[in-house]
């Protein structure tokens, strides 16, 4: 088992089958290009491999704001639907916490769709707090 940052195109593409379970609108043909573009803005992908298969993926960025100081924001966090409830999500989440600490972050945060009840249960079990409502507007 290993957890590592996706640094080359092959590693980025290896994440696609898992992340597309969370983001089904993504297309494999443009995935690497999209991730590379976001990487220029600080986005990173990390993947968990078990038995030579990618079983979980997280996309995240480190930023700073007046409200929270320096923080790690998780854009995407998904465990392969065929490999859930095996502790992979928790191990990847702990890796993200340690990465945030090593990078002097004061907070770790994420947004989760209101319909994702299983994900909410997982986040609460990881001792996260519901601290705000997220509002958005399509332009």
CATH number at residue 16: 3.40.630.30
- Domain assignment of residue 23, yes or no: yes
Asked whether residue 16 carries a pLDDT value surpassing 80, the answer given is yes
pLDDT value of residue 63: 97
Asked whether residue 55 carries a pLDDT value surpassing 90, the answer given is yes
pLDDT value of residue 37: 98
CA dist 28 and 51 (Å) reads 23
- Domain assignment of residue 118, yes or no: yes
Q: Which of 28-32, 69-73, 92-96, 135-139 has the lowest mean pLDDT?
A: 135-139
Average pLDDT rounded to a whole number, residues 4-13 = 97
Per-residue pLDDT tens for 32-45?
Answer: 999 999 999 999 99
Per DSSP, the residues of 56-72 read EEEEEEEEEETTTEEEE
- Domain assignment of residue 112, yes or no: yes
CA atoms within 13 A on the CB side of 126: 22
pTM listed for this prediction: 0.89
- Domain assignment of residue 37, yes or no: yes
Number of compact structural domains in the chain: 1
Per-range mean pLDDT, top range of 61-65, 81-85, 117-121, 135-139: 61-65
pLDDT value of residue 23: 96
pLDDT value of residue 129: 84
pLDDT value of residue 49: 96
Pairing of strands 2-5, 107-110: unpaired
CA dist 78 and 81 (Å) reads 8
Tokens of 134: 């997220």
- Domain assignment of residue 132, yes or no: no
> Domain limits at 6?
2-125
């Amino acid at each position: 088992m290993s957890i590592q940052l996706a640094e080359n195109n092959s590693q980025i593409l290896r994440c696609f089958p898992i992340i597309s379970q969370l983001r089904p609108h993504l297309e494999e043909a443009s995935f690497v290009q999209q991730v590379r573009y976001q990487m220029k803005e600080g986005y990173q992908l990390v993947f968990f491999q078990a038995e030579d298969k990618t079983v979980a993926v997280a996309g995240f960025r480190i930023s700073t704001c007046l409200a929270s100081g320096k923080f790690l924001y998780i854009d995407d966090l998904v465990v392969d639907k065929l490999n859930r409830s095996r502790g992979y999500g928790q191990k990847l989440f702990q890796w993200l916490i340690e990465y945030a600490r090593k990078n002097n972050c004061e907070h770790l945060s994420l947004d989760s769709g209101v319909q994702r009840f299983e994900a909410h249960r997982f986040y609460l079990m990881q001792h996260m707090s519901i601290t705000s409502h997220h509002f958005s507007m399509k332009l």
